[in-house]
Structure 1
């Protein structure tokens, strides 16, 4: 048995709590006495809280403090999760073939995570990032891979997310932002999102997607993000 705590962020606040400490308390419910526990990459506040809450546990390993294989990818989230997975495997199996792990890591692809598609000769990146940290990782990867390119974002966000932080990050990196709604009950409308960021509002997701794709220039990359509901509606299968 093993317990793994991945990055803890402020999300699902209506269920888990409205601050990082309360949310972490809920996540730490999987930690059992004597069962090896891996704590993945955290924000500075998250790591500080985790160490404080787990200070009396001698069966906890922090990924950031351990030696792991050198993993190559523009997808920062993939690297962090890969290192966490490696340590989890090593803890369970005692020995892991690093070369085999790196080869599998290089070939691994998760649908809707930094998912690059070439549509009608244009580049579209689909990423279901929906938290401040995951959006930050997405933007970091975009800037690494597409140096000199401009980004046009199509964004939809569900309620209960750190909406202002997410849109602030997007606003700093986007040449243009189009705001839409991908879920009538659980999501913000494009108009509601426009209260936090300057952007064009097109509530119909398919219409918004097709308009951006049609107008996308050679020096631009389209980025579809903010909600898995958005991706499920427009991402090619």
Structure 2
């Protein structure tokens, strides 16, 4: 079986969330527990960090992995979804899992998979944990797929957990209030395992405090630990300084340019301080990691090259400026629009498409009225038809052209734009994933 045949088999045999949505989810952890037990419980053979959140969990995962790599640790990284290739989901020291490893896993375990009938995501989690264990990683950074409490990744016991933020997304699955969504995310908090929450939010903080208290876990809010000052973007990246509770100031360059990374960095630094023992807690005990200030600086500045992260406020070209971002829900789009305020342009063009299970009423109001719009749709079954999207935008006073194919929509925007204009491609991760320029 070739790699292509293996991927086709997984897509054909197993329910895939990015294609069919919520019906791909198999509630509970029974399947992934059975799968990993069959594989010899690989998740118990390496140290890990577990990351949940509505937005920022992917960026935070990559930043942590980059710093750990810079510190000399053999680092696994599990994220989802992928943009271009399935192999992006499973990395060691930035290198995607070899295609032959994917094919071999499917061939070797095909009979068990067909008997168990897990979801696509459950198989992917088992594959990642098996690969990390066999490759003897020192530590793995594991991003939650959706929610936390019932997510397939939630069978690990990490050194520390990170919850980036709580916002409106997947409310049909996670709950129709921020407190309910926070409850699902808080499900990754394990007994005696420290947890860092990147942003303090008065609406949800009590949920985290209650869960941490029940688990006897140290709870830290990154935004209470650090004051982050933004000095803008230089040729090297976004320049910031971070003030700590001890009034020390650390100058850093972030390789990820979006202004929303200023919120994520507090959580990332909080986790690193837990790992190095700066925030010690009697309820947790593990061998502290050696992570020098130089490793922190190098990892954060070179995160894109070290881990291969794409699609987060990524500049694709200049004259005109073309930026893509995978902000795909209300807090994500809000962050995108905040970052857009740092860009100088004459006219804004927006190439936009969504999947069909998003609450557009919360999102459309965030888009600027003065922009020119190009409505498209990703080539997946879950895509929201561009005609429907255009009508939804029109009802909010936002009009534009319907160009259904993503790259043709960008080409159309480029043909309309002047050199001093800006083109933003956003709305869905899957729209960004189809860009030929990515």
TM-score tier, shorter chain, comes to 0.7 to 0.9
Q: Tell whether the 8 Å contact from 2:200 to 2:224 is kept in structure 1 after alignment.
A: no
Q: CA, structure 1 residues 217+52, in 2 after alignment: closer, same or farther (shift >3 Å)?
A: farther
Aligned counterpart in structure 1 of residue 183 of structure 2, from 11, 16, 25: 25
Q: Measure, in 2, the Cα distance between the counterparts of 1:79 and 1:91.
A: 19
- Alpha-carbon offset, residue 156 of structure 1: 0.9
Partner of 1:230: 431
Partner of 2:359: 162
Aligned counterpart in structure 2 of residue 35 of structure 1, from 182, 186, 193: 193
1:138 matched to 2:336? The reply is yes
Q: CA, structure 1 residues 206+29, in 2 after alignment: closer, same or farther (shift >3 Å)?
A: same
Q: Measure, in 2, the Cα distance between the counterparts of 1:31 and 1:52.
A: 11
Choose 157-166 or 127-136, whichever is displaced more: 157-166
Q: Measure, in 1, the Cα distance between the counterparts of 2:314 and 2:296.
A: 21
Aligned counterpart in structure 1 of residue 422 of structure 2, from 214, 221, 224: 221
Aligned counterpart in structure 1 of residue 226 of structure 2, from 48, 56, 67: 67
**Mapping for residues 1-150 of structure 1, pairs under 5 Å:** 1-41=159-199, 44-47=202-205, 49-51=207-209, 54=212, 59-67=218-226, 70=242, 71=252, 74-94=257-277, 97-98=292-293, 100-109=295-304, 110-118=309-317, 121-144=319-342, 146-150=343-347
- Structure with higher Rg: it is 2
Q: Measure, in 2, the Cα distance between the counterparts of 1:171 and 1:143.
A: 11
Q: Measure, in 1, the Cα distance between the counterparts of 2:204 and 2:386.
A: 31
Q: CA, structure 1 residues 127+235, in 2 after alignment: closer, same or farther (shift >3 Å)?
A: farther
Secondary structure of the structure 2 residue equivalent to 1:171:
coil
Secondary structure of the structure 2 residue equivalent to 1:11:
coil
Q: TM-score, normalised by structure 2?
A: 0.49
Q: Measure, in 2, the Cα distance between the counterparts of 1:191 and 1:178.
A: 11
Q: CA, structure 1 residues 184+67, in 2 after alignment: closer, same or farther (shift >3 Å)?
A: closer
CA offsets 1:114-149 (integer angstroms, 9 cap, x no match):
100116x421001111121121222211211x2354
Structure 2 unaligned spans of 5+: 1-158, 228-240, 243-251, 279-290
Q: CA, structure 1 residues 215+148, in 2 after alignment: closer, same or farther (shift >3 Å)?
A: closer
Partner of 2:399: 199
- Alpha-carbon offset, residue 100 of structure 1: 4.0
- Alpha-carbon offset, residue 99 of structure 1: 5.0
- Alpha-carbon offset, residue 53 of structure 1: 5.7
Partner of 1:171: 368
Q: CA, structure 1 residues 143+211, in 2 after alignment: closer, same or farther (shift >3 Å)?
A: same
- Alpha-carbon offset, residue 45 of structure 1: 3.0
Alignment RMSD: 2.5
Q: Measure, in 1, the Cα distance between the counterparts of 2:358 and 2:201.
A: 17
Q: Tell whether the 8 Å contact from 1:7 to 1:40 is kept in structure 2 after alignment.
A: yes
Q: TM-score, normalised by structure 1?
A: 0.86
Choose 218-227 or 65-74, whichever is displaced more: 65-74
Query: Whose relative contact order is higher, 1 or 2, with alpha carbons under 8 Å and at least 6 apart?
Result: 1
Aligned residue pairs: how many? 234
Q: Tell whether the 8 Å contact from 1:10 to 1:161 is kept in structure 2 after alignment.
A: no
